[in-house]
Amino acid sequence: MLFPRERLLEWEAERLAPYAQRSAHTRGREYPEPESPYRTPYQKDRDRILHTTAFRRLEYKTQVFPNWAGDYYRTRLTHTLEVAQVSRSIARALGLNEDLTEAIALSHDLGHPPFGHAGERVLHELMREHGGFEHNAQALRLLTRLEVRYPGFPGLNLTYEVREGVATHEAAYALGSKGDYPGQGTLEAQVVDLSDAIAYAAHDLDDGLRSGLLRPEELLEVPLLQALAQEEGLDLARLSELARRILVREVLGYLITHAILATHERVERAGVKSADGVREHPERLAALTPEAERAHGELKAFLRERLYRHPEVLRERRKAEAVLEGLFQAYTRYPETLPKEVQARIPEEGLERAVCDYLAGMTDRFALEAYRKLFP
């Protein structure tokens, strides 16, 4: 039995919730092109994202711990895959379009520079007088301009809804693209945003414990961890490897369940009946229950104080600052040392933006190697 695109679109019409974004109702692509006979538009988008150079580079970009710190710590790639898994779990429970959800999740961090959020802060400071830097805006640049893989158009020519999902990721995002993508975004995009916060809280806890930077007895300060440990019969003061995995799994399960319950309740209360109704609603509908939101906030505050500000983590941040500042200053002063393809973009983009794009695309180890070559 074959399932051509037309049958897949019918399946969506029959089974998805009324507030889900159906593939048949896409606002389309910037450049017209034929669709796949056996994939929906969002499945085609997902596949294009997976095959980009930017996606592969995520394997060697820092989440919290740099790639060389150990084989088992999350990288920006494994974080992205975990966000996709959490997003699809929530989307399926709510009757949303899983393919659109997955495409947005896989692309949401493509614009992150090397060295995690430290790298983003450094590039923003360096570009302050040249338009700034923000990883969501950079992801949109990659998807619409910088990834050149087709002869007929720049970028990947993704559907409006995937581009919208990247542009509206995180409520604080406000660097220009909101004018092109007004509103709250689809519920699929909002679910990815929420899943991102859920995933990094759980896996940063896991990596912090694995590294030894977080001590098990410190977890007693977090009410959610105390409660979950008590339910599972775990002793937080003496966590074995198996107990740590159980605890992290329970944290994920708790937050995912409360995200599903709260989002469903808010959608029902709002009475939205279409994807446009979600976009036009005055506030975001994807959320945690008040109880889980409070618990999630306490966990994030704990991680911020005990992990992200740990001297070992801060030491790596200082390295990131030195490397990116040094590379930026060297390349803007001596642009002839840039690769030819980067030099070719200077007349159109400007020197600083072309350098910034080049640095943002680097992996951690490529940036370090480039720094060693310039400053032996």
For residue 23, what pLDDT is reported?
A: 97
Higher pLDDT, 118 or 70: 118
pLDDT at 172 over 90: no
Would you say residue 233 has pLDDT above 70? yes
Give the residue, 66 or 246, on which the prediction is more confident. 246
pLDDT of residue 68: 60
Residue 91, Cβ neighbours under 10 Å: how many? Answer: 26
Label residue 1 by pLDDT band (50, 70, 90): confident
| Amino acid in the structure at residue 249 | R
pLDDT at 281: 96
Of all residues in the chain, the percent with pLDDT exceeding 70 is 95
* 8 Å CB contact between 231 and 253: no
Mean pLDDT of the chain: 92
Poorest-pLDDT segment among 17-26, 126-135, 307-316? 307-316
Q: What average pLDDT does range 372-376 have in this prediction?
A: 89
Q: Taken in order 296, 248, 46, 364, is the CA torsion positive or negative?
A: positive
Structural fold of domain 41-112+138-169+177-312: Hypothetical protein af1432 (1.10.3210)
Q: Given this model, what pLDDT does residue 301 score?
A: 96
Round to whole Å and give the CA distance between 173 and 136: 7
According to the model, what pLDDT value does residue 127 have?
96
Rounded distance, CA 327 to CA 240, Å? Answer: 43
The per-residue DSSP string of 89-155 comes to HHHHHHT--HHHHHHHHHHTTTT--TTHHHHHHHHHHHTGGGT---HHHHHHHIIIII----TTSSS
| Alpha carbon distance 329, 292 (integer Å) | 45
User: Angle, nearest 10°, between helix axes 311-333 and 351-361?
Assistant: 140
Could you read off the pLDDT of 110-162 as tens digits, one per residue? 999 999 888 999 999 999 999 999 999 999 999 999 998 999 899 999 999 99
Model pTM greater than 0.85?
A: yes
pLDDT at residue 265 in the model: 98
Distance, in Å, from the CA atom of 248 to the CA atom of 205, rounded to the nearest integer, reads: 7
Q: What pLDDT score does 173 carry?
A: 40
* Nearest one of 307, 293, 130, 145 to 224, comparing CA atoms: 293
How sure is the predictor about 171, in pLDDT bands with cuts at 50, 70 and 90? very low
Which residue carries 């919208």 as its tokens? 164
* Domain assignments of the chain as residue spans, ordered by start: 41-112+138-169+177-312
In angstroms, the Cα distances linking 294 to 83, 203, 234, 266, 283 are 21, 19, 22, 17, 19
What lies within 8 Å, CB to CB, of 336 at 6+ separation is: 343
